[in-house]
Amino acid sequence: MKLLGLSAKDTRFLLIVIFLTLATPVLLQPFPENSGLATFNAGYPDLMQRFAIFGIFAIGFNILFGLTGYLSFGHAAFLGVGSYTVVWMYKLLDYNVVWGLPLAVVTSGVFALLIGFVSLRRSGIYFSILTLAFAQMSYNLAYSVLTPITNGETGLQVYRSDAQVLLGANEPTSPHFFGLVMSKSTKLNLGDWQFTFNNGYYFTAIIAIIVFYISLRIFRSPFGLMLRAIKTNQTRLNYTGINTRPYALAAFVISGMYAGLAGGLMAAMDPLAGAERMQWTASGEVVLMVILGGAGTLMGPILGAGFIKYFENIFSKINDQILQGWFAWMPDWLSGLLIEISHFFVGKSWHLTLGLLFMLVVIFLPGGLVEAGQRIARLFKKKPPEDKDPGHHPQPAPHVAE
């Protein structure tokens, strides 16, 4: 079966991604609410929205880094631009996200064009440093210089005194899509399980599916092949007379537009934009997502984004009360010892555990989480049947000249 110009294999792959994305509220809620393992559930709106948003961010970054090999440390700038754009549309027009999101994509694309035009004059570590410098300049401008536009360290938000010229009398006063309020959820109780289906998550998930499809088409297109050639040997391409800069710049702009869309969706879920979204740490985070998932693969960025956001959330919310519940069946001296040791890995110290997981993935899975899936698939792959007749030796096929 072929769909939307894809091969049969890619169509099956896309359908699997669509199913997993739409079924996320169920798949991420495997344990009953009253179970001690309910801490590991992740099927609640805020976290699911972050999965989808950072998945979009990582997919876009993978088009640049995974295909061309250009490592940017400045993509947080486009994330911030997208957020500020959407909040300004709230302030000027109304809370409908339909006005801000397309403008966020265009604005971040123009911003990426300007930064990429300068940065792509260099390659390697010099390119990375240039993008980092631009991102830090953007952060400082948003934080302390362009305060009439960004509201500085307080962050940009919507006030009752704002114009909002399209705001109707009965219109929701929170982000919505033609009346579909992002913050509203429907809960389904099945025995001890509770599943939450959030409007904002599904809105973001549908957009994530669309941009994943676009990235799939880019990977399979002649343009994608050219980007791979740039990564493999850009010097050889230049010697053949091919100017690679327009291709690299196009990849940079597309990647920046993805980041702007992700930033706009952040503001669509929470109508606030702050300069902290433009810090270099946000750029570093998306680099980690792509590398951990598998740079240059289609599914890798999504897996990397989910890996980081899931464990970041789970380990940070494990407190003494949860630990005491886990170890309550043990003798007091042993449970106290385990709780003391656990303090180094959970709660406020969750960064240590996440760092250890990063190390394990990088050391044992240099190809990222996708490599782990490939290894598991090879274990279950059927071996070709052996010839039962030991005396039979198949003759080689005759060579036919073409």
Is 401 a residue whose pLDDT tops 70?
Answer: no
pLDDT band at 34 (very low <50, low <70, confident <90, very high): confident
The whole-number pLDDT of residue 234 equals 87
236-288 pLDDT, tens per residue? 888 888 899 999 999 999 999 999 999 999 999 999 999 998 988 889 999 99
The pair phi, psi for residue 192, each rounded to 5°, is -90, 0
191-204 pLDDT, tens per residue? 889 999 999 999 99
Is 337 a residue whose pLDDT tops 50?
Answer: yes
CA 145 to chain centre: 30
pLDDT band at 384 (very low <50, low <70, confident <90, very high): low
Report the distance separating Cα 26 and Cα 44, nearest Å. 10
Q: What's the mean pLDDT in 154-158? A: 93
More confident residue, 55 or 362: 55
Residues 366, 296: contact at Cβ < 8 Å?
no
DSSP-derived 3-state class of residue 188:
strand
DSSP-derived 3-state class of residue 177:
strand
The whole-number pLDDT of residue 386 equals 54
Q: How far apart, in Å, are the Cα atoms of 24 and each of 6, 45, 48, 204, 304?
A: 24, 11, 8, 12, 16
The whole-number pLDDT of residue 399 equals 46
Mutual angle of helices 97-119 and 245-269, in 10-degree steps = 150
pTM above 0.75, yes or no: yes
The percentage of the chain sitting over the pLDDT mark of 90, rounded to a whole number, equals 67
